[in-house]
Amino acid sequence: MITRLSTMFLRTLREDPADAEVPSHKLLVRAGYVRRAAPGVYTWLPLGLKVLRKVETVVREEMNAMGGQELSFPALLPREPYETTNRWNEYGAELFRLQDRRGVDMLLGPTHEEMFTSVVKDLYSSYKDFPVTLYQIQTKYRDEARPRAGVLRGREFIMKDSYSFDMSDAGLEESYQRHRAAYQRIFDRLGLEYVICAATSGAMGGSASEEFLAVSETGEDTFVRSTEGEYAANVEAVVTQPGVERPIEGQPDAVVHETPDSETIETLVNWANDAGVTVEGRAVMAADTLKCIVVKVTEAGAEPELTGVLVPGDREVDMKRLEASLEPATVELASEEDFAKSDFLVKGYVGPVGLAKNGVRVLADPRVVSGTSWITGADEKNRHVVGLVTGRDFTPDGFIEAAEVKEGDPAPEGLGTLTLARGIEIGHIFQLGRKYTEAFDVQILDENGKRAVPTMGSYGVGVSRLVAALAEQYHDEKGLNWPIEVAPFPVHVVIANKDEIAREAAEKLAADLDAAGIEVLIDDRPKVSPGVKFKDAELLGMPLAAILGRSFSDGVIELRQRGGETLEVPAAEIVERIIALVRN
């Protein structure tokens, strides 16, 4: 079927939408692919829907090829299964909850572990039924605090979620690897540049997980790669190399000093160097100080609890890393009010000793090991302590990954240093283990007739988000530039010559391509100038544009490869050339 711009439901915009910041959002709206219906809730207009369906098809084909079986759960779900796993509460404000006409609690599914576990429990009872991989491509709902960038992070979105059930840990590992390979095929087919990163499991639970990040400056995730070796990880999952322990014996006693107006690391370091303090014979650096950040940690259903977080003074606390370390609990910085309420919290002078004395839990960066000596707050206004030794003067209640990761930090196993970049999370694979199957008491008879609990994996692809990720990687200042696998139309025929003969030739070209099974968009708008048509063709971003313009009078059709070179093709050869380009 040939699609005509003269009748297509489309309006391109010359101006960026006011609420758009990232290129994919601007371009998908301007080119008439998507349209906002409510904050974080988007309509797929005809062109956008075509891209979305093509992405879906690639995902479905690869999921079927790896043995996945497709089914489709509702989005409107009962509360009970999510009560069983406590996610009804743990999800917090991100879960859309509602009541039906009888006052029964329901929710809009954010992810479906509970439902898949239940259906496997109900249908299967013998080890002979395993392994099994089930999936759906379905609309999901999460009431994001900050929906962002159009379909990149929406509150209603389309996800492929799959779940593997195996009788053994080795089976789970195999199912996990098959998903990993299928995801690579999916993202390779889509033409995305992506990185597979070690990741945290977050609220999902489970042991191992990896993320697929599409490389993009506008991504919300930061990841690291090592300059040597293959290490890649989301910064949230980067494991800090522990510090080197030192003997405590022989270290000088801690001494409290008057340190007026030294509430920042910078002023503290200046004070120390002015006061002639040295560390191993050299001047004091920020890394010799210990930053003590006070936060409030809230477990689901509990009161917020004060916690001290210790990091070396040359690093900030990375709230996303801290949050990831504490999930599913939520965390926020202590407020002015919290400081006002507790005498021992003296802003700029908080230290681990005062916190511990007052029963506040203290969690330390892994560099704060036994025998390390620090300059830090002395819990009184204008006072700091020098030579506070871990394991002698204070002992953290535990370690935590909270310090920012920096470009140039050592990579694990000594394989060079870390570089930082940003990416869009397009896939996430989890080895969940038995968290959900145990919660639902799934009992399967094993080969010996004994009851066993299957182990589970959970795997997601952000299908609608992939459209945005593709737009991020495939665009230029003029517009979109789709890879052929997902372009709404591989070919855009532009009538840019008023001659009736050109129009007829364009129609024949479109019909010939259509007959060859190639989808065609034809710009047959009668009163639109060639200049506007060219601009729209660049904005809409089909891989090939066949222009029947001025040079058509000389029997030449311009074949513009979006973002690439323009070929001058004799009219008689154009069909053949296009077919060859599309089929490669």
For binding to a copy of itself (CB under 8 A), which residues are involved?
1, 7-11, 35, 37-38, 41-46, 48-49, 52, 64, 69-78, 93-94, 96-98, 100-101, 106, 108, 115, 119, 122-124, 132, 134, 139, 141, 143, 145, 155-156
Of 63 and 224, the one with the shorter C-beta distance to a copy of itself is 63
Residue 128 three-state SS = helix
Residue 511 three-state SS = helix
Q: Are 449 and 509 in contact (CB under 8 A)?
A: no
Of 165 and 394, the one with the shorter C-beta distance to a copy of itself is 165
Q: How far is the CB of 461 from a copy of itself (least distance, A)?
A: 18
Which of 27, 61, 22 has the alpha carbon at shortest distance from 219? 22
What does the alpha-carbon distance between residue 15 and residue 29 come to, in Å, rounded to a whole number? 10
Positions of E strands within 86-190: 96-99, 105-108, 132-141, 156-166
What does the alpha-carbon distance between residue 102 and residue 110 come to, in Å, rounded to a whole number? 23
Q: How far is the CB of 121 from a copy of itself (least distance, A)?
A: 12
Of 73 and 399, the one with the shorter C-beta distance to a copy of itself is 73
Of 159 and 238, the one with the shorter C-beta distance to a copy of itself is 159
Q: How far is the CB of 268 from a copy of itself (least distance, A)?
A: 40
Of 155 and 367, the one with the shorter C-beta distance to a copy of itself is 155
Of 44 and 127, the one with the shorter C-beta distance to a copy of itself is 44
Give the H or E element holding residue 80: helix 80-84
Q: What are residue 211's phi and psi, to 5 degrees?
A: -115, 145
Q: How far is the CB of 171 from a copy of itself (least distance, A)?
A: 14
Of 35 and 383, the one with the shorter C-beta distance to a copy of itself is 35
β 282-283/132-141 pair status:
unpaired
Q: How far is the CB of 70 from a copy of itself (least distance, A)?
A: 6
Q: How far is the CB of 123 from a copy of itself (least distance, A)?
A: 5
Of 76 and 501, the one with the shorter C-beta distance to a copy of itself is 76
- Secondary structure (DSSP) of 424-480: EEEEEEEEEETHHHHHTT--EE-TTS-EE--EEEEEEEEHHHHHHHHHHHSEETTEE
Q: How far is the CB of 445 from a copy of itself (least distance, A)?
A: 15
Would you tell me the crossing angle of helices 23-30 and 463-473 to the nearest 10 degrees? 100
Query: Which tokens sit at 249?
Result: 């014996």
81 DSSP assignment: H
- How far CA 204 is from CA of 91, 165, 428, in Å, comes to 10, 16, 11
Q: How far is the CB of 262 from a copy of itself (least distance, A)?
A: 41
Query: Which tokens sit at 458?
Result: 């959970």
Which of 536, 519, 547, 492 has the alpha carbon at shortest distance from 33? 536
Query: Which tokens sit at 345?
Result: 């919290």
Q: How far is the CB of 176 from a copy of itself (least distance, A)?
A: 19
Q: How far is the CB of 26 from a copy of itself (least distance, A)?
A: 18
Q: How far is the CB of 447 from a copy of itself (least distance, A)?
A: 15
Q: Are 332 and 349 in contact (CB under 8 A)?
A: no
Q: What are residue 449's phi and psi, to 5 degrees?
A: 75, 15
Of 131 and 377, the one with the shorter C-beta distance to a copy of itself is 131
Half-sphere exposure of 296 (CA within 13 A, CB side): 13
Residues 6 or more apart in contact with residue 138 via CB below 8 angstroms: 72, 73, 75, 109, 112, 158, 159, 161
Q: Are 71 and 118 in contact (CB under 8 A)?
A: no
Half-sphere exposure of 160 (CA within 13 A, CB side): 30
Q: How far is the CB of 41 from a copy of itself (least distance, A)?
A: 5
Of 97 and 503, the one with the shorter C-beta distance to a copy of itself is 97
Of 163 and 482, the one with the shorter C-beta distance to a copy of itself is 163
Of 135 and 552, the one with the shorter C-beta distance to a copy of itself is 135
Half-sphere exposure of 376 (CA within 13 A, CB side): 29
Q: What are residue 325's phi and psi, to 5 degrees?
A: -70, -30
Q: How far is the CB of 71 from a copy of itself (least distance, A)?
A: 5
Which of 563, 560, 584 has the alpha carbon at shortest distance from 574? 560
Q: How far is the CB of 485 from a copy of itself (least distance, A)?
A: 20
Of 76 and 239, the one with the shorter C-beta distance to a copy of itself is 76
Residues 6 or more apart in contact with residue 535 via CB below 8 angstroms: 478
Of 281 and 517, the one with the shorter C-beta distance to a copy of itself is 517
